[in-house]
């Protein structure tokens, strides 16, 4: 068995760096899909984003899979009530499970092309570019060369920065949370079902998926004021005569929809005309909160619209923003479960599996001229399979859209009612309480 040299040369380290620099997390995803050409496999959005970044892909290999995989987690769990312990230990930390790491390592060991295209932490190539060895403990220079290659690849591909910029908008975060909830619900629904693969996408069509996720970003947009000017705020393209009115309706729509702007706070003298429940002291304290610190995420219990989280400079109220977002994720998970149940009630997935087998058998038989299977037979079998697949997909998509819309709508309405009650209970605040001080 080949061993890595105790004192690696510059050529050894260059080979390690080059392989790590050229590696890609997406190559493994493509490999898995190639092994299952007739199934539309789906990874969680978090895993997809990690795979798009070389650093993210490496971090997933290094992180624990769940809290229960860590020593600290086990110690904390020992002091929790029994009913809470299992849920706590099962909290995901983003890393690959031992099973997933084992499958990844086995696939790389069996496929030299996959070894060339991916990076496995702690395993590095020798100078021949073919043989790969396990570093084990020590060999810090070799490990540093591999880490440097991963970092250089990420910088060259803008990996982590692209992920960061994508998540800059609260709407994008809401959409990712929505897709993540749908993915987890799909995997759970497939457990114990012989006709479903836990990695399979139940809603394959991109437009259907985006439609299913629409309630999440709509709720978020409403919560941060992207749909209409909120009381106490300027228009995004304000008129010089009246800042609550827009000087350019087209620019107003573009600012809100495309740029995600919601307008700035009015000066207090104007602000209080629309929000008489807010005192000057509360107004000043809130402005100080908004502009203090440099953290991309912060929170306050005393926001203009009640408790809120400020994400990348966008204020998301708890009642009218975060609760509807959570409702969208809950609705998506419920929609997946009910959609799968509806399909199974009509044996939809069993029919889909049977039609897939018919298509695969005919496709295999068509390679033998003596079998008498024509191209039209194979095409018809494929169309029958796709028709059943689309029928199942539509049922699940309709269920997700219906449940998400209902729960998100109810959550948003409840949030606006709660916020209205909060303002009404406060009543009119003294406007000049802090003027002398």
In this prediction, residue 435 carries a pLDDT of 47
Nearest to 32 by CA among 263, 260, 201: 201
Residue 344: CB atoms within 10 A of its CB come to 16
Q: Which tens digit of pLDDT belongs to each residue from 170-219?
A: 888 888 888 888 888 888 888 888 888 888 888 888 888 888 888 888 88
Angle at 346 between CA 342 and CA 347, to 5 degrees: 110
With contact defined as beta carbons under 8 Å apart, do 58 and 148 qualify?
no
Burial label for 275, CB within 10 Å (0-12, 13-18, 19+), is buried
349-386 b/e (C-beta count within 10 Å ≥ 16 → b): bebbbebbebbbebeeebeeeeeebeeebbeebbebbe
Per-residue pLDDT averaged across 339-349, rounded? 94
With contact defined as beta carbons under 8 Å apart, do 238 and 245 qualify?
yes
d(CA 337, CA 181): 11
SS3 (DSSP) at 41: strand
In this prediction, residue 370 carries a pLDDT of 82
Residue 192: CB atoms within 10 A of its CB come to 8
**Mean pLDDT estimate for the chain:** 87
The predicted model scores a pTM of 0.75
Per-residue pLDDT averaged across 132-159, rounded? 89
pLDDT band at 83 (very low <50, low <70, confident <90, very high): confident
pLDDT band at 2 (very low <50, low <70, confident <90, very high): low
Nearest to 18 by CA among 198, 118, 114, 149: 149
Q: Is the pLDDT of residue 434 over 70?
A: no
Q: What percent of the chain has pLDDT over 70?
A: 97
Q: Residue ranges of the domains in the chain? A: 10-158, 167-231+275-437
pLDDT band at 436 (very low <50, low <70, confident <90, very high): very low
Per-residue pLDDT averaged across 3-11, rounded? 80
Q: Which tens digit of pLDDT belongs to each residue from 117-130?
A: 999 998 988 887 67
The pair of three-digit structure tokens given for residue 337, joined into one six-digit string: 């479960």
Q: Is the pLDDT of residue 266 over 60?
A: yes
With contact defined as beta carbons under 8 Å apart, do 407 and 327 qualify?
yes
SS3 (DSSP) at 301: strand
The pair of three-digit structure tokens given for residue 415, joined into one six-digit string: 């949030």
């Amino acid at each position: 068995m080949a061993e890595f040299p105790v004192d690696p040369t510059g050529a050894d380290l260059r080979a390690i760096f080059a392989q790590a620099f050229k590696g890609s997390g997406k190559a493994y995803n493509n490999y898995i899909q190639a092994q299952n050409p007739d199934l539309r496999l789906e990874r969680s959005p978090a895993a997809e984003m990690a795979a798009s970044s070389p650093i993210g892909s490496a971090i997933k290999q290094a992180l624990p899979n769940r809290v229960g995989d860590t020593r600290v987690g086990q110690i904390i769990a020992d002091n929790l009530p029994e009913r809470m312990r299992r849920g706590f230990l099962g909290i995901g930390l983003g890393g690959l499970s031992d099973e997933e790491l084992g499958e990844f390592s086995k696939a790389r060991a069996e496929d030299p092309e996959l070894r060339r295209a991916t990076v496995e932490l702690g395993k590095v190539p020798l100078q021949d570019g073919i043989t790969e060895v396990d570093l084990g403990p020590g060999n810090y220079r070799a490990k540093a060369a591999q880490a440097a290659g991963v970092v250089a690849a990420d910088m060259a591909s803008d990996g982590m920065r692209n992920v960061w910029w994508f998540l800059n908008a609260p709407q994008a975060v809401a959409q990712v949370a929505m897709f993540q909830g749908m993915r987890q619900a799909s995997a759970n629904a497939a457990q114990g079902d012989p006709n479903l693969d836990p990695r399979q996408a139940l809603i394959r069509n991109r437009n259907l998926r985006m439609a299913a996720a629409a309630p999440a970003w709509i709720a978020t947009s409403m919560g941060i004021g992207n749909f209409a000017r909120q009381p106490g705020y300027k228009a995004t393209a304000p008129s010089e005569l009246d800042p609550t009115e827009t000087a350019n309706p087209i620019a107003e729509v573009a600012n809100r929809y495309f740029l995600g702007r919601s307008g700035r706070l009015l000066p207090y003298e104007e602000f209080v005309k629309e929000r008489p429940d807010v005192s000057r002291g509360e107004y000043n304290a809130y402005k100080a909160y908004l502009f203090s610190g440099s953290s991309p995420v912060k929170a306050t219990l005393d926001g203009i619209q009640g408790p809120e989280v400020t994400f990348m400079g966008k204020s998301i109220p708890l009642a009218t923003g975060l609760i509807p977002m959570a409702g969208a994720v809950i609705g998506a998970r419920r929609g997946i479960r009910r959609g799968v149940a509806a399909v199974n009630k009509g044996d939809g997935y069993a029919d889909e599996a049977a039609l897939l087998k018919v298509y695969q058998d005919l496709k295999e038989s068509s390679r033998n001229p003596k079998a008498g299977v024509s191209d039209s037979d194979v095409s018809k079998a494929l169309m029958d399979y796709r028709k059943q697949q689309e029928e199942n997909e539509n049922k699940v998509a309709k269920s997700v859209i219906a449940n998400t819309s209902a729960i998100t709508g109810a959550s948003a309405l409840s949030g606006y009612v709660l916020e209205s009650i909060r303002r009404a209970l406060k009543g009119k605040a003294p406007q000049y309480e802090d003027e002398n001080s």
